[in-house]
Amino acid sequence: MRFLFVVAAATLLSACASQAPAPAPAPAKAEAAPAAKKAPQCWNGDVGAFQDAGTKTTLSGVAVECKPTSDGKAAQWMGVNAKH
C-alpha cells in the first residue's frame, strides 16, 4: 500500500514539474494612439440602437432628426418642421 502512495506522489510531482514555463509578457507599446473623437449620437428606442447626428426618422409617428447640441458633445432628437 505504501508503495502505491509513493508511486502516485512521484507521478503527480513529475507531471507538475514537466509543464512548460509561462510565456514571456509582450513588450509594452511605446505610446497608445489617441482615441478618435466620436460623433454625437441619439438613442432610438424603436430600433434599439444609437444613430448618428443628421439621421432623420419617425419615432412613435413623429418625424424627427438627430441634431447635435450647441456644445457638440451630445445630440438629441428634434422635430422636423413641415414645409408646406
Q: How many CB atoms lie within 10 A of CB 42?
A: 22
Q: Can you tell me whether residue 47 is helix, strand or coil? A: coil
Question: Model pTM?
Answer: 0.50
Report pLDDT digits (tens) over 33-62: 666 677 899 998 888 999 999 999 988 888
Confidence of residue 72 (pLDDT cuts 50, 70, 90): confident
Sequential DSSP letters for 3-54 = HHHHHHHHHHHHHHHTSPPPPPPPPPPS-PPPPPPPPPEEEETTTTEEEETT
Taking the C-alpha atoms of residue 55 and residue 77, their distance in angstroms, rounded to an integer, is: 9
**Positive or negative: CA dihedral 70, 73, 76, 79:** positive
Mean pLDDT, rounded, of the chain: 79
